[in-house]
Amino acid sequence: MINLGEKVIYQIYPKSFYDSDGDGLGDLQGIIAKIPYIAKLNVDMIWFNPFFVSPQNDNGYDIADYYQIDERFGTTADFEQLVAELKKINVGVMLDMVFNHCSTQHEWFQKALAGNKKYQHYFYLRPAKVAGSLPNNWQSKFGGPAWSRFGQSELYYLHLYDPTQADLDWHNPDVRAEASKIVNFWRKKGVQGFRFDVINVIGKDHELVDSLNPIQEKTLYTDTPVVHQYLKELNQNSFGQDKEIITVGEMSSTSIANSIEYTRPQEHELSMVFTFHHLKVDYKNGQKWSNMPFDFMKLKSLLTSWQLNMDRGNGWNALFWNNHDQPWALSRFGDTGKYRIKSAQMLATALHCLRGTPFIYQGEELGMINPDYKSISDYVDVESLNAYKELLRQGKTPQAAFNLIKGKSRDNSRVPMHWDASATAGFTNGTPWLQPTNQAEINVNAELDHGEIFNYYQKLIALRKNYRLISQGHFIPLLEDNHAVFAYARCLADSSEKVFVFNNFYGTDTIVKLPTMCTKQKGKILLSNYPNNLDKLPQELHLRPYESLVWCTL
């Protein structure tokens, strides 16, 4: 059995990693060129965002051919080379499987449009409820109705995302067989990991009834019992045949109970899940397009309850602060100015010492922050552009709407990787598809030369590999009522040893009273982002701005 607790996974957004041919877009040869950089981190696997054939209306999450590499990114031969080169440094490949929907340019949809009944059953095609209205009142997650006209017919097709991303009807066994076939195709090419995009929304109810309100609406298609059934089937028919494979399901608005069921080994569904509750703690009234300092107590209580309950239920968490859909965590929960380095190290410590499998998003190891864009025309993401129009429609001034986009746009983290301080950040010889802005200070060259974040990540990764307490231990919350510090212990059933982790989430000094559990034994510091030397923890622990301390009993 694979030891998920010892693994660390790096995420590469191919479009923004490194451009080898000067077209302004990252590509597979670019990734191959940077393998020596990746090797330094000592991660186990890389999750690649989709690089399959796609019109790129949602940056590759609109797949038109699941079996071919988009020529913008390279060729099948490039992909095979990438797998082989990564294998040499013991790094596995995790591919992104977008099975809730496909591009309307996919031949399945095109054949359906041409009248082929078999393929029409691949999609949710429905007539208007009453003349002139849509089949139901569901909304697309990218804004506007979730239905569009199916060609010139009287029917509509469902799309929970962009109109060019048609939802696949998983109730149809042929659709499920296609999914297994795709996974098996890539397994044969040496792929050992799969990330399943928004996989918990594949089980829409047959009836597709109207929703009562936007919150209830999600329950009509999220985490329905058939999702578990379909995942078990996919597992059995594809990746479950290989015990070395790692899978992660992206779960939109899920629950702990469902996440346990998705990941408990005895269910034979997935290895782990991405969940997002902890990244909504700066959403005012649950609204993404809002501006609010993050709610620290909420963050802490969410992390705590997921840690405790997933462990109790024998489930497994994927741990992450960043990905290609989120603004940089450092810009949300840290300090982008004076304490950029300290707060980057602190956030990393808080997460990497938890129970689960940590993911690092490209550039996080440099302490990247949101770009300083000045105009809405600097953004390209479909979700951001739709949201901007909608905010204006709701009466926001252009400046207010822009500020909201600036804080939350997915383009924040999609900015090309900063390799050096040059105008294109060393990402391309051409014109980058998204403009980098703060590469003068934050870039790989500077970081490897005299930085303190990359090498801190190396240490965290090494700790996970060397300490069973970190890779396997149970989680015990500490200082739960403290308003500045996220602290916890890790322990094992078969030993009295413990690891204690303290993280000051603010830029001010703070003193915490430690419970006797922390102070009774001798021990040593495993890692800290300040000079520290403590063979015993004091009753009152002084933490400096954004200080992290990982301490282990002897």
CA distance 502 to 528: 9
**Between residues 324 and 498, which has the closer beta carbon with respect to ligand GLC?**
324
198 binds ligand GLC (CB under 6 A): yes
Asked if 104 and 202 count as a contact pair (C-beta separation under 8 A), the reply is no
Helices (H) and strands (E) in the chain, counts: 19, 22
**Number of neighbouring beta carbons within 10 Å of residue 548:** 28
Residue in 45, 98, 146, 310 binding ligand GLC, rule: CB under 6 A: 98
DSSP per-residue letters across 446-485:
HHHHH-SSHHHHHHHHHHHHH-HHHHH-EEEEESTT-SSE
Which residue number places its CB atom closest to ligand GLC? 61
| Nearest-approach distance from CB 183 to ligand GLC, in angstroms | 17
What does the alpha-carbon distance between residue 189 and residue 151 come to, in Å, rounded to a whole number?
37
CA distance 119 to 123: 7
CB of 28 to ligand GLC, least distance (A): 19
Q: Which residues lie closer than 8 Å to 65 by C-beta, 6 or more apart?
A: 52, 53, 106, 107
Q: Do the beta carbons of residue 69 and residue 27 sit within 8 Å?
A: no
Binder among 70, 197, 261, 269 for ligand GLC (CB under 6 A) = 197
Residue 360 CB, nearest approach to ligand GLC (Å): 16
Q: What distance in Å separates the CA atoms of residue 257 and residue 247, rounded to the nearest whole number?
A: 19
DSSP state of 514: P
DSSP bridge partners of 361? 11
Nearest alpha-carbon partner for 366 in 486, 458, 429 = 458
What separation in angstroms does the CA of 101 have from each of 66, 123, 170?
12, 9, 10
Alpha helices for 327-486 (secondary structure H):
329-333, 340-352, 382-393, 398-408, 411-414, 444-450, 454-466, 468-472
**Min separation Cβ 471 and ligand GLC, Å:** 27
Helix locations, 13-67, DSSP H:
28-33, 35-41
Contact between 420 and ligand GLC (CB under 6 A)? no
Angle at 71 between CA 105 and CA 37, to 5 degrees: 125
* Chain residues 291-350 in contact with ligand GLC, contact rule CB under 6 A: 324-325
Nearer to ligand GLC, 58 or 335 (CB): 58
What would the two tokens of residue 315 be?
């489930």
Residue 73, interface with ligand GLC (CB under 6 A)? no
Contact with ligand GLC (CB under 6 A) among 44, 58, 167, 447: 58
Min separation Cβ 324 and ligand GLC, Å: 6
Q: Which of residues 233-262 bind ligand GLC (CB under 6 A)?
A: 250
**Taking CB under 6 A as the criterion, which residues in 520-549 touch ligand GLC?**
none
Quick note: the x/- pattern for ligand GLC over 111-150, rule CB under 6 A, is: ----------------------------------------
Q: Position 267: which residue type? A: E
Q: Does 12 participate in binding ligand GLC (rule CB under 6 A)?
A: no
61 binds ligand GLC per the rule CB under 6 A: yes
| CB-nearer residue toward ligand GLC: 56 or 528 | 56
Within its chain, how far is the Cα of 532 from the centroid?
Answer: 33
Our CA angle for 419, 425, 430, nearest 5°, is 120
Question: Do the strands 272-274 and 246-250 form a parallel or antiparallel pair, or are they unpaired?
Answer: parallel
The answer to whether residues 214 and 160 touch, using CB atoms and an 8 Å cutoff, is no
Which residue, 20 or 357, has its beta carbon nearer to ligand GLC? 357
438 contacts 372 by C-beta, under 8 angstroms: yes
Distance in Å, CB of 318 to ligand GLC, minimum:
13
Residue 40: CB minimum distance to ligand GLC, A: 27
Instruction: Give the chain's end-to-end CA distance (angstroms, integer).
Output: 29
Smallest gap from residue 99 Cβ to ligand GLC (A):
10
Q: Which of residues 160-179 bind ligand GLC (CB under 6 A)?
A: 161
Active site residues: 197, 250
Shortest Å distance, C-beta 192 to ligand GLC: 21
By beta-carbon proximity to ligand GLC, the closer residue of 123 and 161 is 161
Minimum distance of ligand GLC from residue 195's CB (angstroms): 9
| 148 three-class SS | strand
Residues forming contacts to ligand GLC in the complex (CB under 6 A) are 58, 61, 98, 161, 197-198, 250, 324-325
